[in-house]
Structure 1
Amino acid sequence: MIFLTFNYTDTLESVYCIDPDNIKHIYGYVKNKNEELVIGHCNQKAISYALEKKKEAEVNFVDFAVSTFDRVSKYFNTTLKRTSNIIYENTEFFNSLSNVDEVIIIGHSLNKVDMPYFEKVLKSVRENAIWKAYYFEDTDEKPFEKVLDDLGIKNENRFVRKTQELYL
């Protein structure tokens, strides 16, 4: 089994005794002192908004707002997760998925920010791979179905279940 985790911690290694060689920490691994962690967000809109507000403040000569929005835009820019770069830097990992015929998603919200990774996984695994997505809250079932649908995963190739079913 190969594991892709968006978590920086050693949960898979220490709790589930997964061999670290089978785990890809896409945003870095807290125990790897030679690796810089990718911490932040993927919200380009926040940067654009701060820069827009900075320009408005400049036009209106509101110096404290110019300074504030300048700092906010710089903060958002330095903490921006550059997803396409991360995917490119991990080309070898994604290429290693070519024989994968089952994708299991556990403990992930399936929110928009990580969709480029799931799209890359989809392109990397076998064409008719089975996708199993496990959700925690009942309210997540329909959104999970929609995400898998939006990814283009056929109904017959996907299963969306409560996390508790993993332990039955």
Structure 2
Amino acid sequence: MSNILFIIGNGFDLAHRLPTRFDPDFREIAEKNESNPYFWELYQSAEPNIWSDFENLLAKPDFNSLAEIFEYYAPDHSSDRESDRDGIILEAEMSGNLKESLEEFANQAEGKLANITPQRFFKDLFTNGDLYINFNYTHTLEQVYGIEIDRVLHVHGESGNENLLLGYPEGDFSPEDIHEDIRQKGRGPYRDTSIKEYINSLEDYYVRTAHEILINKVESFKKEFKIELVEEFLSGHKLINEIIVYGHSCAIDFPYFEYLNVTFPLANWKFFSFDERTIMNIEMMVCHIGIRNYSVVEK
């Protein structure tokens, strides 16, 4: 019986040439599904190009351009038709639905598995009885390498189910302040106001409701850590002596690594790294968590 636990991240799927990059694979799907392309920019106070950046930035949306975007949908209070007033609310409800885009993204990658062949490196790396904590949505391990499903935990959900997780760590939500024009004449003076304070100050019901819908939607993109799933998955496997990390950026998901380090304090960790940024992430994480026995393999 093997005593090896693998932690599998997106780099594993990328090694098999699956379309699982944040940019362009997910970004193109998400932008395509936005009713107004400008809404996409609200989620990003900076320009991300990898998953960990994107997820962390979801906690810091920038709504400063929202007033300009909403001008086109401004409610017409002189009209007798409700649709001329609540269009701004409907637009907000149609925007920012990243979960649907995430499902499309996962299913698109899953559909490519039939054409993927196993690689010798991984066939040699994986042995009978290994356990796998998989942060990917795809079933590459199961379909390409024949790993038994009860040996794989998809901790962020899996393709084909509606349980896909995406987002920032709970408690990290801190939107950019609104640079509010006090006189509302475009010439200042300006002051920084929290997004929720700004929304509460909006007098128009339709405009305020549209803002509330969007901020609540973005705030819902928090990622709950499923430590209890890991605990249940590993119950009965107390003799893990090696933990191999492949394809994970080591820039997010720290509670899982911390739990494993506490649960298996004598385990030897092996991290596969692909660039200098990942090496830096690994060194910072092992120092923060207190992992003592580890090695880094550049690949």
- 1:144 is matched with 282
Are the counterparts in 2 of residues 58 and 66 from structure 1 also a CA contact under 8 Å? yes
| Secondary structure of residue in 1 paired with 2:138 | coil
Following superposition of structure 1 onto structure 2, how do residues 18-167 of structure 1 map, counting pairs within 5 Å? 18-31=147-160, 33=161, 36-43=162-169, 44-46=171-173, 48-49=174-175, 52-59=194-201, 61=203, 66-83=208-225, 86-112=226-252, 114-125=253-264, 127-154=265-292, 157-162=293-298, 164=299
Q: Which has the larger radius of gyration?
A: 2
Equivalent AA in structure 2 for residue 45 of structure 1: D
Flag structure 2 segments of 5+ consecutive residues without an equivalent.
1-129, 178-193
CA contact (8 A) 1:50 1:72 kept: no
In the TM superposition, what whole-angstrom CA distance separates every residue of 1:43-94 from its partner, at most 9, and x where no partner exists?
A: 4433x538941322322546666334312232134332221xx212443124
Query: What's the TM-score once normalised by structure 2's chain length?
Result: 0.46
Secondary structure of 2:277 counterpart: helix
Over the matched positions of the two proteins, sequence identity in percent amounts to 25
Query: Aligned pairs, how many?
Result: 153
Preserved contact between residue 42 and residue 81 of structure 1 (Cα < 8 Å): yes
Considering fraction of residues, name the structure with more helix.
1
Q: Is the 8 A contact 2:153 2:230 kept in 1?
A: no
Compare 63-72 and 132-141 and name the one that shifted more.
Answer: 63-72
Change (3 A) 1:98 1:30: same
Q: Which has the higher contact order (CA 8 A, sep 6+)?
A: 2
1:149, 1:15 → 2: CA distance? 35
Corresponding position of 1:10 = 139
CA RMSD of aligned residues (A): 2.5
